[in-house]
């Protein structure tokens, strides 16, 4: 029924957002007859509330409970979305029998506790990226999921951007030939780095997105990582690198360059949006993915996404992200489809571990000023 979602990406040649939205909406009509799935949400900050916002657009999803260590915030979000159960302790949420699956969007360095608790409680899990902050925590999460047999999906939403998934189809069908080189650039908004106040690194927060894409595209293992950092305002304020450049060598011989940073200016998305656009539409920051093979080349550049605007508020054009809301809806729908049809999600614990390992190898390489071999 959901052919575009079945394998977690759109088939080759389908990158038209209007086609994707039309199919999504037609599928939603059929889904009205499906049983409701009770969802619980652990961590309801920016991303946690986003998951509630998008999952509520699916008629067969029933938001059952939220949990957050900030009880005031939990109550605020629960009231906003009419969610009946509110907890400050995620263990109590796991005890709620009406919760069939959970979305975990706590800060990255505290994923292990709720993730292991979810597995031990038999709750299927969509866990925000990165999987963890250490390989030890990632292993503990993976072991718990393996023992319980639950469905686990790591929230690599870029797999659901139509442009990104179109490249997957191109590569998978052999049109690229043998991959030779790859390059990926992703720049976040520096205000986001400031908001995080040094709690995580740019490679773990931003870089893992494109690391995961390259691993997904190439279906190959990274065997060595060399990285150099460039420092600026975030280093001065919080002691974390502003930008990181990585050179990855894959087992097949493919070489990839990854640049990640918080380089977009603070006012990047500061302009007034039409009321029809939710806060999740935003302005997409610069992204570029390029794959070169023996028979072809594939490339994605964002922005633009086919829409631009200008008004009297500021100089220049405005390039809104209209694809991100679709991608988040597709991600949660794909996760729930895996539950309904007893399928293994395409971005599970193994994929989460691999992208985390590459990012941590880059961290080690920066510190030791030398290439780092994998596995760590």
Examine the pLDDT at 34 and tell me if it is beyond 90.
no
Domain 161-321+355-373: homologous superfamily in CATH: Dihydrodipicolinate Reductase; domain 2 (3.30.360.10)
**Confidence category of residue 35, pLDDT binned at 50, 70, 90:** confident
pLDDT in tens, 238-267: 999 999 999 999 999 999 999 999 988 776
Residue scoring higher pLDDT (46 or 10): 46
Could you tell me which residues come within 8 angstroms of residue 122 by beta carbon, excluding any fewer than 6 positions away?
A: 148, 150
Mean per-residue pLDDT for 19-31?
53
Q: Cβ(320)–Cβ(305) under 8 Å?
A: yes
pLDDT for residue 151 is more than 70: yes
Q: For residue 153, what pLDDT is reported? A: 98
Residue 8 has pLDDT above 80, yes or no: no
**Fold: same for 3-158+328-348 and 161-321+355-373:** no
Closest residue by Cα to residue 312 from 278, 282, 271: 271
The answer to whether the CB of 126 falls within 8 A of the CB of 332 is yes
Sequential DSSP letters for 297-310? EEEEEES--S--B-
Mean pLDDT of 1-11: 40
- Residue 268 pLDDT > 80, yes or no? no
pLDDT higher than threshold 60 for residue 327: yes
**What is the average per-residue pLDDT within 197-212?**
96
> 302 or 374: which carries more pLDDT confidence?
374
According to CATH, what is the number of the domain 3-158+328-348? 3.40.50.720
Q: Nearest CA to 203 among 326, 335, 65, 355?
A: 355
**Tens of pLDDT, residues 90-132:** 999 999 999 999 999 999 999 999 999 999 999 999 999 999 9
Domain extents in the chain: 3-158+328-348, 161-321+355-373
Band of residue 6 on the pLDDT scale cut at 50, 70, 90: very low
Q: Which residue has the tokens 């493919």?
A: 254
Mean pLDDT of the chain: 88
Residue written as token pair 């975990």:
104
| pLDDT given at position 322 | 74
- pLDDT of the residue at 9: 43
């Amino acid at each position: 029924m959901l052919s575009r979602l079945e394998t977690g990406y759109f088939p080759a040649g389908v990158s038209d957002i209007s086609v994707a939205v039309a199919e999504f909406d037609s599928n939603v009509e059929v889904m009205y007859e499906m049983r409701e799935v009770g969802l619980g949400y652990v961590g309801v900050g920016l991303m946690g509330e986003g998951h509630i916002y998008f999952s509520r657009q699916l008629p067969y999803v029933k938001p059952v409970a939220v949990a957050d260590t900030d009880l005031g915030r939990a109550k605020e979000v629960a009231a906003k979305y009419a969610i009946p159960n509110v907890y400050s302790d995620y263990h109590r949420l796991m005890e709620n029998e009406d919760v069939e699956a959970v979305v975990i969007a706590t800060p990255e360095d505290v994923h292990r506790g709720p993730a292991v608790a979810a597995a031990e409680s038999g709750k299927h899990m969509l866990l925000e990226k990165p999987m963890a902050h250490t390989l030890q925590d990632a292993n503990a999460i993976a072991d718990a999921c393996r023992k319980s047999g639950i469905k686990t999906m790591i929230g690599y939403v870029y797999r659901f951007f139509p442009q990104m998934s179109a490249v997957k189809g191109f590569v998978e069908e052999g049109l690229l030939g043998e991959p030779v080189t790859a390059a990926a650039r992703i720049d976040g908004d520096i205000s986001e780095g400031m908001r995080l106040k040094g709690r995580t690194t740019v490679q773990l927060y931003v870089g893992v997105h494109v690391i995961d894409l390259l691993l997904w595209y190439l279906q190959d293992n990274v065997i060595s990582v060399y990285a150099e950092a460039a420092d600026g305002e975030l280093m001065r304020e919080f002691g974390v690198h502003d930008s990181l450049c990585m050179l990855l060598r894959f087992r097949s011989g493919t070489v990839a360059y990854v640049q990640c940073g918080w380089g977009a200016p603070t006012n990047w998305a500061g302009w007034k949006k039409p009321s029809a656009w939710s806060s999740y539409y935003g302005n997409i920051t610069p992204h570029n993915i390029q794959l070169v093979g023996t028979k072809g080349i594939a490339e994605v550049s964002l922005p633009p996404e086919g829409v631009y605007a200008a008004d009297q508020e500021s100089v220049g054009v405005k390039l809104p992200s209209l694809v991100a809301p679709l991608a988040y809806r597709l991600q949660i729908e794909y996760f729930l489809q895996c539950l309904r049809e007893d399928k293994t999600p395409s971005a599970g614990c193994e994929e989460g571990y691999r992208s985390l390992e590459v990012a941590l190898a880059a961290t080690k390489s920066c510190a030791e000023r030398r290439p780092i071999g994998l596995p760590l």
